[in-house]
Amino acid sequence: MGRLQDKVAIITGASSGIGAATAELFAQEGAKVVISDIQDEKGREVAAGIGENAIFFHHDISQEKDWQEALAACMKKFGRLDVLVNNAGILVSGTVESSTINDFRRANAVMVEGVFLGCKYAIEQMKETGGGSIVNVSSVAAQIAQPHFLPYSAAKGAVRTMTKAIAAHCQMHKYNIRCNSVHPGAIHTPMFEEVKKASKEFLPPDMLAPNASGRADPKEVANTILFLASPESSFVNGAELVVDNALSIQ
């Protein structure tokens, strides 16, 4: 039996990078998966690669209507929801002086409001079927100073603290729903390529290396998400797990 046998998961931003790696790993461990993304072609490719236990759903996580429709599609296809992985994100660079209010709002619309909406509607379903696990993908940028990525860092910081508030809420109401956050460092994903392009003017090249071991594969993060989604982490709630090969403490 797989570690997520017969569980149903929604994974946002699952057309590439950490989201795609997580979807594939979940399916290998017995889960049925909803691939959520705005990149339709890539998302359908991921779903097709998994097979009958996956569907793709076009999903702008900043839109409440899209969340309602995504949950409805999940329930229609699979009949329940056990795991939500709020992984989708965007890179918004800029300092406190160079960022505009629109930059700040755009980052928060996707990575704060999108996570809030996902948690809100997932809890609504999970509490009716005995509980579940929510994993919010934050970043080491929520824990260490990133002056050239202020909108992104601020949004990921909000995800970090919102996760803890949601975990406490669900525990207080005895919903049997856990909520934890994962904080990746420099991982080989399409977003990391954007970081390198945006950073080359103000960061030295060695700062842009993913990590010393060269093991910056999205699967490293997917394995951590799998642990938090599975019953193995049943006593882990409101935690933040850093996956960065010590990047944030050097």
Q: Give the pLDDT band (50/70/90) at residue 128.
A: very high
77-100: per-residue pLDDT in tens? 999 999 999 999 998 889 999 999
Cα(84)–Cα(134) distance, rounded to whole angstroms?
Answer: 5
Kindly report the CATH number that applies to the domain delimited by 8-243: 3.40.50.720
Cα(142)–Cα(159) distance, rounded to whole angstroms?
Answer: 8
pLDDT at 209: 54
Locate the domains of the chain by residue range: 8-243
In the predicted model, what is the mean pLDDT of residues 169-179? 98
Q: In what order do the strands lie in the sheet with 8-12?
A: 54-58, 32-37, 8-12, 83-86, 132-137, 177-184, 240-243
pLDDT at 245: 78
140-158: per-residue pLDDT in tens? 889 887 888 899 999 999 9
Cα(139)–Cα(79) distance, rounded to whole angstroms?
Answer: 32
Higher per-residue confidence, 245 vs 215: 245
Convert 224-240 into a string of H (helix), E (strand) and C (coil): HHHHHHCHHHCCCCCCE
Please list the active-site residues: 152
The 3-state DSSP class for residue 43 equals helix
Q: What is the pTM for the complete model shown?
A: 0.90
Candidates 221, 181, 201, 182; CA nearest to 93 is 201
Above pLDDT 70, what percent of the chain?
87
pLDDT at 177: 98
pLDDT at 17: 92
Q: For the chain, what is the mean pLDDT?
A: 90
The 3-state DSSP class for residue 9 equals strand
